[in-house]
Structure 1
Amino acid sequence: MAKWLPEWLRLALKVGLKCAFIGLVILLLVASYYYSKAQKYDLSKVAEEQQQNTLLDHNGAPLLGNDSKESLLITYDQLPQHLVDALIAREDTNFEHHCGVDFKGLIRATLRNAKDMSFTQGASTLTMQLARNTYDIRAKSLNRKFLEIALTLRIESSYSKNEIMAYYLNRIYFGSGCYGIEQASRKYFKKSVTDLTLSESATLVGIIRGPHIFSPLNDLAAAQNQRNQVIDRMLTIGKLTTEQASAVKNSPLVLPQKITLTKKPLEAANPYALKALDRHLNEILAQKDIRAAGLTITSALDLKKLHQCENDIKKLLIEAKQPQLQAACIIIDHKTGAIRALVGGRDYKALQFNIALDGKLDLGDAFTPFIYAAALERGKLPIKGNPSQTGKQLDPAETQRIAKRFGFNSPFNLPEIHYGSGTCSPLELATAFSTIANNGKRPHTFFVEHITKADGSELFKNTAQSTPAIQEGTALETAKLLKYKDGIAYTTAAFSGRSLWSAASKDSLTAVIWVGFQQPAPVPNKNSLLKKMQSLTYHWVASEK
């Protein structure tokens, strides 16, 4: 080292060179270790098709019947150019130029993480995301990041950029149970990926960063906002003109209203039940941040009960000879809260709105059993057959508080609450009626029993839960007033026959049927219909075995 240099500078240089050498040795050792570790992973897995989820009923029968198991893999040549541009713009602007790792972005993210004292920034390229999703590398740690980089470099050295793009889109999770771009395209837009518009492509790309919260089935406004952000990025990097970007951003995001099952097998569940199950499943996947493919989802639904209800409701409506008449029904296991069957309306093609879950239907005299229960709970005399006189003994506000404990969520017109001045869905009435049959405990209803991964490990299990609503003695005394054959039942017409209701419970099942018009009007031949409805609800709960 030059003698003319000051002693302190020569010392500093020596120390610096030694540190640099030690750092280089450590770097080579770390690189060798993770290179060796990455060699143990089967690289062919990145090109494999994601396993589709399996939906089963409570007894293990397939809910989708003979659903097609056709391949949903796509090749790069099938991708619209605007989809490729949207993905690069949003997720990895330098995708076509880097070696799989954006080292500038990685250094920037590392410095930010050091400042925040947490892993807030990732700087993941498409290839790094592909590696992470292929081998399910989830833990946020330096070990995970080094392994991810080593696997990324292996993938980049083995596959072309076009192949990596296609493999990525075949594997990434797009929310609502969709794994891969083709499955997502069919679910959200009812078309193949080759037919996607610019708006639809940008929407799908927008989902990637938050597959649960940005799914258009969960939040259409959020999905549209993400679509517009993708369009802005495409404009910024020169992939769109201002006119093209404005045209998309000024257009509303609309999902096609079609039945998911284009060819419904006879043994498949009805679309109302499948959509309801899908809704609950998506909530669980979001809450638990479950993104694994090849899941087995065991639902609470009973396929045999589903078909029994569907066939009986069709027959009931045919015999009513009223083409505009609607009907909905639901069966729940009041011991566990499991929803065993559901029919949400007369015809899903004509009406996608699920009356069984979301209807706001006139309650009227169907509130009578709960007037009896409120009177007994407060030490008053229930006058059988006279809910008005029974209700006049009670404070309306107190009656409403008890009604909420039963699960009625809509507000009542308090001065007339004992006339059933509120509205409810068949699910709400079934839950409330179940509370009487379940010794005063209101069951927490659910559609999904448990979820397991492809390797058999359990990701989620729903256990029976209930909330005390009324005293057990109150429930038993109320049940005596509702006794019907070997169970309990109540059937009535609300407000001059605008809503026909029938509820029945026996053993562990509770069933409810509602019949009426979309635009409230008196139902013709209501007495005949009520008899048939009472017979059906009791038959459903009595034929449990």
Structure 2
Amino acid sequence: MSHSSRKPSKRKRKIITIVKLLFGMTILGLLVSTIFLVYLYNTNLPVADTDRNSRILDNQGQLMATLSASGRSYDPVTLEQISPLLIEATLSVEDRKFYDHVGFDIKGMGRAVLVNIEQMNRSQGASTLTQQLARNLYLSHAKTWSRKLKEAFYTVQLEMKYSKSEILQMYLNEIYYGHGAYGIEAASRMYFGKSASELSLAESALLAGIPKGPTYYSPYNHMDNALSRQKIVLSTMVTTGYITKQEANTAAREKLTFLPQGEQKTIVTAPYFRDYIRQFVVNELGITEDQLDHGGLNIYTTLDAHAQQAAEEAVAKEMDPDSDLEAALISVDPRTGYIKAMVGGKKYQNNQYNHTLATTRQPGSAFKPIMYLSALSSLKMNPLSTFKSEPTLFHYDNNRKTYQPSNFGDKYLGEIDMREAIAASDNIYAVNTIMTIGSDKVVETAQKMGIASPLQAVPSLALGTSPISPLEMASAFGVIGNGGLRMTPIAVTKITDATDEIIYDAEPNQGKQIVDPAAAYVLTHLMESVFDSGGTGNRVSSMMKRPVAGKTGTTDTDAWLVGFTPELATAVWVGYDKGRNIESTDGRRAAPIFAQYTEKALENVPPKIFPIPDGVVSVYINPESGLLATADCPNKTLEVFIQGTEPTEYCTLHGSEIEELPIEEVQIQDHSWWSNLKQWWME
């Protein structure tokens, strides 16, 4: 055997060395790459701007608003809540291979590199949806190599940590569509006034084309550009097989209807409540504005989304959008104090002033139940206490001052009791009442019920001449509806930081017993007459399908209806900001708003009667004499009293024989919810 056959040639050894080196470099590269990928996977992504925004959640833990320094509109939705046509249009024009690549379009990047080398700049790009998302979430839009490198790292991390569907959902919720609208839901509502789930093919194609140039392709700024871009999107959808050419042509010819540019702000859930929460956590809880804007806080509130929608719909239905007349609605659960709904004005875009917190409005006769509660609880009066309804000059302050009220329309009813006075809203009876029990006593009771606004201890207080906010009124009426137990209004139950640590936890609302439950129930029973025949709320009684008590109130400048069921205490106010006098038609808007809201908010809650506490007695009386009815009395009415204040003598107007009446023999002359409920039960 020759020497050359025993020993590899020099050239062969060199090749082997190179192969080993390449193999080693490959292994090393794979090892380094693996380590780097593991590092990226285990490294947290930066906190996105939208993640730094604090969130306001409703009573079910659902997102209702975000708080940010930029004030950007952000309404995140799931893929299931977005029209498939919009998703297909976006993928066609922005990233056709989205489901095939791992974050980068290699061929597209190659073409872009060649163009950039040829033009000696970095003008050409080939960003995938994942790259765009990384840039929008974590980086600026500056065209620098360092930004590109970070973008690549974040793109890899996004692809590693999230599924394709999650990335697409984040992208569609993050991308900018112009005019302050971030995300497809905000854009859809801004341009077309509808949810993203309702978008047509033509609308989807137009919106999908905007992110390439939100200003240049905005239909508000350049309609021709927007429609031209829409046709390009439709063409790409044909190419990718999502739609046919005929469908594309039909969509291109469709005439789109946009919301007027003056209304281009996106719809925000409960904007007045959102602002109220922001003020509350800053002013009352000591949380800074910076924490709100950049701390990623979760603010859990008491707002009921269903009740809020019912409130907004009721106000919108009854109010004229072209009038300066304003409205407010605030609703509280009397059992817990939780604020369930808040509408601070007719249209937030035009007027951000929250009228539910306004302490400059006179409640008028809506204040009377607070006074009557004071009268009943003092045991100085009962439902049968009578005064003569007639023009009267009252003397007070040791006879040094006089006050002469009048009834609406100068209508006087003669001798009436408390039930008739409440139903008809008689002013003379009310002033006689406050003169009997003392205005100081009424002020004391009102303050215990949660009225913090200053009250003047004068006879006119009985007619609601001291301004009180709707929130105070709703809370005070909640005391009546909750058996005299006051629950402090609560809007925020808990706040957690970005790490889900609790930084605020509301103390349980123990409540405070303001008056005897029997007094509160007797007043509730009387206030139900407001919605009976002859009552000031009778015209909306047909709309109410459940037990409800309340009181109307009207002044020259304000109209109210404040009322409650066992579940909700609600105040509705209507008036003008500048104190302008309201017309009679304006004053009739509060009651329908209250009725529509209450029924809609409680549509899934079975009607409940107000619970009858201990210390209440029910007796049949003859309304002519105010005494206990006998078998000879032709008219008999069931009335409730605080035990010990009921009449003890029997009526002798229709016979001298006294015979105790079996309950089943009495035909109650009552058209309230109680008789309706009995009739329904018997049927």
CA 1:422–1:285: 2 relative to 1, 3 Å: closer
1:67 aligns to 2:75 (yes or no): yes
Q: 1:395 aligns with which of 438, 459, 480?
A: 438
Q: Distance in 2 between matches of 1:425 and 1:298?
A: 25
Q: Is the 8 A contact 1:509 1:541 kept in 2?
A: no
Q: Is the 8 A contact 1:506 1:541 kept in 2?
A: no
| Higher alpha-carbon Rg | 2
1:461 aligns to 2:505 (yes or no): yes
Q: Distance in 1 between matches of 2:349 and 2:62?
A: 25
Q: Distance in 2 between matches of 1:59 and 1:436?
A: 27
Q: Is the 8 A contact 1:57 1:299 kept in 2?
A: yes
CA 1:263–1:537: 2 relative to 1, 3 Å: closer
Q: Is the 8 A contact 1:512 1:537 kept in 2?
A: no
Q: Distance in 1 between matches of 2:47 and 2:589?
A: 55
Which deviates more from structure 2 when the two are superposed, residues 69-78 or residues 405-414?
69-78
- Residue by residue over 1:73-123, the C-alpha shift from the partner in whole angstroms, topping out at 9 and shown as x without a partner, is 566999xxxxxxxxxxxxxxxxxxxxxxxxxxxxxxxxxxxxxxxxxxxxx
Q: 2:455 aligns with which of 412, 435, 441?
A: 412
Q: Is the 8 A contact 2:574 2:587 kept in 1?
A: no
Q: Which runs of 5+ in 1 are unaligned?
A: 1-41, 79-162, 164-189, 191-260
Q: Distance in 1 between matches of 2:266 and 2:550?
A: 35
- The match for 2:297 is 295
CA 1:323–1:76: 2 relative to 1, 3 Å: closer
1:334 aligns to 2:379 (yes or no): no
Q: Is the 8 A contact 1:516 1:523 kept in 2?
A: no
- The match for 1:314 is 316
- The match for 1:471 is 516
Alignment of 1:229-240 (within 5 A): none
- The match for 2:526 is 481
1:501 aligns to 2:503 (yes or no): no
* Amino acid of the structure 2 residue aligned with 1:418: A
Secondary structure, aligned partner of 1:361: coil
- The match for 1:371 is 371
TM-score for the superposition, normalised by structure 2: 0.43
Q: Distance in 2 between matches of 1:49 and 1:436?
A: 48
Q: Is the 8 A contact 1:372 1:478 kept in 2?
A: yes
How far the C-alpha of 1:467 sits from its partner, in A, is: 2.7
How far the C-alpha of 1:541 sits from its partner, in A, is: 5.5
- Residue by residue over 1:50-95, the C-alpha shift from the partner in whole angstroms, topping out at 9 and shown as x without a partner, is 63333221112220395269856566999xxxxxxxxxxxxxxxxx
Q: Distance in 2 between matches of 1:339 and 1:345?
A: 16
* Amino acid of the structure 1 residue aligned with 2:465: S
Q: Is the 8 A contact 1:506 1:542 kept in 2?
A: no
1:492 aligns to 2:552 (yes or no): yes
- The match for 2:167 is none
- Residue by residue over 1:252-287, the C-alpha shift from the partner in whole angstroms, topping out at 9 and shown as x without a partner, is xxxxxxxxx98424xx41321211122223346526
- Residue by residue over 1:192-218, the C-alpha shift from the partner in whole angstroms, topping out at 9 and shown as x without a partner, is xxxxxxxxxxxxxxxxxxxxxxxxxxx
* Amino acid of the structure 1 residue aligned with 2:378: R
Between the aligned residues of both structures, percent identity stands at: 23
Q: Distance in 2 between matches of 1:490 and 1:48?
A: 50
* Amino acid of the structure 2 residue aligned with 1:523: E
- The match for 2:425 is none
CA 1:413–1:494: 2 relative to 1, 3 Å: farther
Q: Which runs of 5+ in 2 are unaligned?
A: 1-40, 67-73, 78-132, 144-149, 151-179, 181-262, 383-417, 422-428, 532-544, 606-683
How far the C-alpha of 1:335 sits from its partner, in A, is: 1.3
* Amino acid of the structure 2 residue aligned with 1:366: A
Q: Distance in 2 between matches of 1:530 and 1:295?
A: 37
Q: Distance in 1 between matches of 2:373 and 2:601?
A: 22
- The match for 1:360 is 360
- The match for 1:199 is none
Q: 1:428 aligns with which of 462, 469, 472?
A: 472
How far the C-alpha of 1:290 sits from its partner, in A, is: 7.2
Q: Distance in 2 between matches of 1:458 and 1:394?
A: 48
How far the C-alpha of 1:327 sits from its partner, in A, is: 0.3
How far the C-alpha of 1:426 sits from its partner, in A, is: 0.8
Q: Distance in 2 between matches of 1:408 and 1:461?
A: 25
Q: Distance in 1 between matches of 2:285 and 2:588?
A: 45
How far the C-alpha of 1:403 sits from its partner, in A, is: 1.1
Provide the aligned C-alpha RMSD in A.
3.7
Q: Distance in 2 between matches of 1:452 and 1:541?
A: 29
CA 1:538–1:55: 2 relative to 1, 3 Å: closer
Q: Distance in 2 between matches of 1:48 and 1:477?
A: 58
Q: Distance in 2 between matches of 1:506 and 1:428?
A: 17
CA 1:389–1:355: 2 relative to 1, 3 Å: same
- The match for 1:535 is 595
- Residue by residue over 1:347-393, the C-alpha shift from the partner in whole angstroms, topping out at 9 and shown as x without a partner, is 22322211012342111111111111010121121523132222221
Secondary structure, aligned partner of 2:319: helix
Alignment of 1:513-528 (within 5 A): 513-520=572-579, 521-526=581-586, 528=588
Number of positions where the alignment pairs a residue of Structure 1 with one of Structure 2: 324
Q: Is the 8 A contact 2:558 2:587 kept in 1?
A: no
Alignment of 1:100-119 (within 5 A): none
Q: Is the 8 A contact 2:46 2:138 kept in 1?
A: no
1:444 aligns to 2:488 (yes or no): yes
Secondary structure, aligned partner of 1:492: strand
How far the C-alpha of 1:333 sits from its partner, in A, is: 1.2
Secondary structure, aligned partner of 2:440: helix
- Residue by residue over 1:117-158, the C-alpha shift from the partner in whole angstroms, topping out at 9 and shown as x without a partner, is xxxxxxxxxxxxxxxxxxxxxxxxxxxxxxxxxxxxxxxxxx
- The match for 2:350 is 350
CA 1:486–1:68: 2 relative to 1, 3 Å: closer
Q: Distance in 1 between matches of 2:323 and 2:597?
A: 22
